[in-house]
Structure 1
Amino acid sequence: MLSALAQRRRFKDLTEQEILALAISSEEDDARIYRMYGKSLRAEFPASAAVFDEMAAEEDTHRERLIAEHQRRFGDVIPLIRREHVSGYYTRRPVWLVENLGIERIREEAANMERDAERFYLAAAKSTSDAGTRKLLGDLAAAEAGHNQKAVDLEHEHLTDEHIDDEAKAAHRQFVLTYVQPGLAGLMDGSVSTLAPIFATAFATEDPMTTLQVGLAASIGAGISMGFTEAASDDGQISGRGSPVKRGVATGVMTTLGGLGHALPYLIPHFWTATVIALIIVFVELWAITWIQNKYMDTPFFRAAFQVVVGGALVFAAGALIGAG
């Protein structure tokens, strides 16, 4: 790692030819990133995909102007120099990381890309003594500064109010299908299914440490099981529910948290204190599930409350009776 950092060039040590070469490779990378964003959005957000396609074409135009300037001054052989070869040069986040965070995050990242490019061209223009190159780099800095407005103009061209509304609904639907629905299923399973073993152990032993161990085992085991089951049950290609890995992680994590909520109070060595706190947490968990069902799944509040609270109460009662008996 240290050797790789030591081999990087400082920006101020680059020659004018290397600065042009760096600009060319950067424009190539940015065009490629915009096209990948467009590709990832095309199925669900075709209007926004068209915006990124046009932004990629704009970057291609910049690259062509830079190549022409390099040919004028230095010939056809362009040095191989990229972002990672320059110390302190701005980097780009991996496309897979950003595109997994949703359309608004992609738009925000695109705006950051344009600001980074503007700063680079301003610094590059100051580093050249050739009038033609300085003018080109200054023009590109101005173009990058204007790209945010260009993006707005493109959105107005491609995104009607109807498109924006449709895309917002599609994004919300995808969020619900990929994260909320699997996470809610996990939270319900973790909160409700672990009630019986945890409280059966609690009332049977009145030993906080034993109860905690059973609670940890039940919560973590249920999380692993639910996570793998969700991931393996549907690859998302036909159902449109999104990545099985994301859904599996959401389900597994929320299942585990649902169980741990009323298991961790048994870290307290006093049995009845721990039990009272655990019961309060169970009450909060069940009403939180009811609220999530009502807000994101459009389940009528009282029906959700009846299903979750009554079901949870029955499972708790079964565990407590078995333990006390």
Structure 2
Amino acid sequence: MKQFADLTEREILALAISSEEEDSRIYHGFAEGLAEPFPASAAVLSGMAEEEVRHRGRLFDLYREKFGDYLPLIRRHDVTGFIKRKPLWLTRPLGLEEVRKYVLGMEKEAARFYRKAAETTRDASIRELLISLAEEEDRHDSLAGQLTAKHLTERVKAGEADSERRAFVLQYVQPGLVGLMDGSVSTLAPLFAAAFATHKPFETFLVGLAASVGAGISMGFAEALSDDGSLSGRGSPWIRGGVCGLMTAVGGLGHTLPYLIPDFYVATVLAVAVVIVELGVISWVRHRFMDTPWLQATFQIAVGGALVFAAGILIGSA
């Protein structure tokens, strides 16, 4: 890798050209990823991409005038000092707010680069262009504002925010809630059956651990294989499966871990308290994200949990 201070004027221009081309392709990648769920924001990003193409054209015209047609291959990762960014534009589905923050960081970095480059060059025409581009990068906020005013009306913003919330619920909240409910409720019966049948905390812990891990693996694969997301819009099946499987295991382990306590009665009282907390969390999530009335959510979860809990105790005491 080269130090920025060691770059020649030719290399600085070549780096600027490749950076503008890369930024343009990133903007187009964001625009493509947001086109279906957020078409207005995609239009804004397409406008930004076109602006980067114009910057590249100005840079290349000056480069050709100064150094000819051959353009050496030099990119950001060949020079120390540039921020290493994850390829967010390849992620699907894209988060709208995350993209906006990423774009803001790109613009600030580009402006810093042009100012630093202008300080190192002796050629007046090159320095003038670099300073001009730095000022334009600073003004990109206003360009984004103009494009936003054109494409992102309040009605459109509200619609996009609703779409983003829906995507978040479908991708993370729904599979996580399903997993938490399954892990918290379905493992109650085998756990408390083992507890009241043996009165041995560690053996009960092993039963709960096996039930939680097994249920997590089963629910994870079931969710991932049930829907590839192409028609339902629920996003990556492996993300959904991972979230569902993890939350299933967490739901079961919550009331299993107390049985690491040697005293059976203390462990059981603590496990029951954990179950109450878990059912409360499930009710809150249903109320917060699924728009289920609070009393209805609490009643449904409490009845289901109580029935499974009673079944486990009855079976274990038989």
The TM-score, its normalising length taken from structure 1, stands at 0.95
- The 2-side partners of 1:75 and 1:96 are apart by 33
- The 2-side partners of 1:90 and 1:82 are apart by 12
Give the residue type in structure 2 aligned to 1:197: P
Partner of 1:229, secondary structure, is: helix
- The 2-side partners of 1:321 and 1:48 are apart by 58
- The 2-side partners of 1:180 and 1:123 are apart by 45
Tell me the equivalent position of 1:60.
53
Partner of 1:157, secondary structure, is: helix
Match of 1:180 among 162, 173, 176: 173
Matched, 1:89 2:82: yes
The Cα shift of 1:275 comes to 1.4
Conserved in 1, the CA contact under 8 Å of 2:29 and 2:90? no
The Cα shift of 1:299 comes to 1.5
The TM-score, its normalising length taken from structure 2, stands at 0.97
The Cα shift of 1:145 comes to 1.1
Tell me the equivalent position of 2:188.
195
Tell me the equivalent position of 1:147.
140
The Cα shift of 1:101 comes to 5.3
The Cα shift of 1:36 comes to 0.5
Match of 2:314 among 301, 310, 321: 321
- The 2-side partners of 1:99 and 1:182 are apart by 17
The Cα shift of 1:270 comes to 2.0
Give the residue type in structure 2 aligned to 1:249: G
- How big is each residue's C-alpha offset from its partner over 1:16-58, in whole Å with a ceiling of 9 and x where there is no partner? 1111111111111111110010000001111000000000000
Moved more, 211-220 or 55-64: 211-220
Partner of 2:84, secondary structure, is: coil
- Counting only pairs closer than 5 Å after superposition, residues 100-139 of structure 1 correspond to structure 2 as 100=93, 102-139=95-132
Percent identity over paired residues: 57
Give the residue type in structure 1 aligned to 2:59: L
- How big is each residue's C-alpha offset from its partner over 1:238-273, in whole Å with a ceiling of 9 and x where there is no partner? 112222122111111111111111111122222222
- The 1-side partners of 2:290 and 2:142 are apart by 37
Tell me the equivalent position of 1:15.
8
Partner of 2:122, secondary structure, is: coil
Give the residue type in structure 2 aligned to 1:21: A
- The 1-side partners of 2:265 and 2:8 are apart by 74
The Cα shift of 1:98 comes to 5.7
Tell me the equivalent position of 1:300.
293
- The 2-side partners of 1:250 and 1:111 are apart by 30
The Cα shift of 1:300 comes to 2.0
Partner of 1:87, secondary structure, is: coil
- Structural RMSD (CA): 1.3
Partner of 2:291, secondary structure, is: coil
Structure 1 unaligned segments of length 5 or more: list them.
1-7
Moved more, 301-310 or 91-100: 91-100
The Cα shift of 1:131 comes to 0.4
**Change beyond 3 A, Cα 1:193–1:236:** same
Conserved in 1, the CA contact under 8 Å of 2:115 and 2:134? yes
Give the residue type in structure 2 aligned to 1:79: P
Match of 1:311 among 281, 304, 311: 304
Partner of 2:131, secondary structure, is: helix
Structure 2 unaligned segments of length 5 or more: list them.
none
- How big is each residue's C-alpha offset from its partner over 1:58-91, in whole Å with a ceiling of 9 and x where there is no partner? 0001111111111111111011011111122223
Matched, 1:280 2:273: yes
The Cα shift of 1:100 comes to 4.2
The Cα shift of 1:108 comes to 0.7
Matched, 1:41 2:34: yes
Moved more, 90-99 or 44-53: 90-99
Give the residue type in structure 2 aligned to 1:315: V
- How big is each residue's C-alpha offset from its partner over 1:186-217, in whole Å with a ceiling of 9 and x where there is no partner? 11000000001111111112222212211111
